[in-house]
Amino acid sequence: MIALTGRPPYIPFYPSLSCNQSCSICFNRHLTLTDDVTISDFGRMVSIIKNLGIPGMDILGGEPTLHPDLPELMDLVSRSGVKVSIRGNGTHQLSIHN
């Protein structure tokens, strides 16, 4: 049984709306592109999520692996203790090391 705490189990987050595809099923493909999140803004957001007791973050896009600072963003969230998953289209190779 899962106890309800009044908090979501995760926050979906879009660090970049850039994409290297134009999939017909994508619900974001017609959105206006905005600036990618900065490392400092992302760090503040992770701190807020952690302080609210939200245990996870789901990184989406666009194609999140196209964000130029993705390894640094993942390092920030990893060090915070917030669990993170990344969902991409699988066409862009990226290595993230601990």
Q: What is the pTM (predicted TM-score) of this model?
A: 0.80
CB within 8 Å of 25: residues ≥ 6 apart: none
Confidence of residue 18 (pLDDT cuts 50, 70, 90): confident
Q: Which domains are present in the chain?
A: 11-86 (3.30.750.210)
pLDDT tens readout for residues 27-60? 887 888 889 999 999 999 999 999 999 999 999 9
Cβ contact 13:70 at 8 Å: no
pLDDT in tens, 57-75: 999 988 898 899 999 999 9
pLDDT at 42: 96
